[in-house]
Amino acid sequence: MQAIGSTLAERQFYRRNEGKNALSSIEEGEIPQVVDELIDNKMYRNKFKALIRRGHLQDLLDLVEVAHTKEKPSRWFASVTAKKCWERTLDFLAKMREVQRVVQEVRKRITVPAKSVGAVFKAAWRHRQGAVRFAVTAAETGKTHPFGLFCTLALKNQTSATLG
């Protein structure tokens, strides 16, 4: 008789969803609020839930950050998360993460004014790892103004553009 009682108690336990852990909402494909705000057509929520289940939650959150810098964030977000260009979007995110890593490396080597970080990003997009070499050269050569020398090397000198 006690076995039947414990079985009924277990059924009630699972019916009340008390057995779920804190990560179950993400495991089920729950869409974070910041992503949901950028979805204009709510009929596409299942697509985003599927992307989250496949492990692209961080990719979507990174795209949300970039979308907020655009003139029409929800339109841009919809176009880059379209099924036909998702692979290109993943390539873009990989390049963006590499550029962010290069910018951090440059900022370790030379002092960059807060309002001039955009110039470092521009140099990193243009030269990738070459921007780090320019920062090393600027740190070793330009004792008084290394950031100015970095900008001259990376942004004004078109002949030294590196590929890749």
- pTM summary value: 0.70
How many CB atoms lie under 10 A from the CB of residue 110? Answer: 20
Question: What is the model's pLDDT at position 124?
Answer: 92
Q: Do 128 and 152 fall within a single domain?
A: yes
Q: Do 103 and 145 fall within a single domain?
A: yes
Q: Which candidate, 118, 76, 66, 69, places its Cα nearest to that of 97?
A: 66
Contact 107, 120 (CB under 8 A): yes
Q: Is residue 117 part of a domain?
A: yes
Q: Do 142 and 117 fall within a single domain?
A: yes
Q: Is residue 106 part of a domain?
A: yes
Q: Do 123 and 72 fall within a single domain?
A: no
Residues, the chain: 164
Q: Is residue 7 part of a domain?
A: no
What's the pLDDT tens digit per position in 46-71?
Answer: 999 999 999 999 999 999 999 999 99
Q: Do 143 and 107 fall within a single domain?
A: yes
Q: Which domain holds residue 63?
A: 20-81
Among residues 81, 110, 130, the one where a domain terminates is 81
User: Which residues neighbour 82 within 8 Å (Cβ) at sequence distance 6 or greater?
Assistant: none
What's the pLDDT tens digit per position in 8-47?
Answer: 455 444 444 444 443 444 445 589 999 999 999 999 999 9
Q: Please state, rounded to an integer, the average pLDDT across all residues of the chain.
A: 81
Q: Is residue 143 part of a domain?
A: yes
The position carrying tokens 């029409």 is: 72
Query: To 10 degrees, what angle do helices 86-109 and 117-127 make?
Result: 120
Alpha carbon distance 155, 140 (integer Å)? 18
Q: Assess whether pLDDT exceeds 60 at residue 113.
A: yes
Q: Do 109 and 77 fall within a single domain?
A: no
Q: Do 114 and 139 fall within a single domain?
A: yes
Q: Is residue 50 part of a domain?
A: yes
Q: How many domains does the chain have?
A: 2
Q: Assess whether pLDDT exceeds 80 at residue 4.
A: no
Q: Is residue 86 part of a domain?
A: no
Q: Assess whether pLDDT exceeds 80 at residue 146.
A: yes
Q: Do 74 and 116 fall within a single domain?
A: no
Q: Do 105 and 156 fall within a single domain?
A: yes
Alpha carbon distance 31, 48 (integer Å)? 7
Q: Do 76 and 100 fall within a single domain?
A: no
Q: Assess whether pLDDT exceeds 50 at residue 163.
A: no
What's the pLDDT tens digit per position in 147-157?
Answer: 888 888 888 86
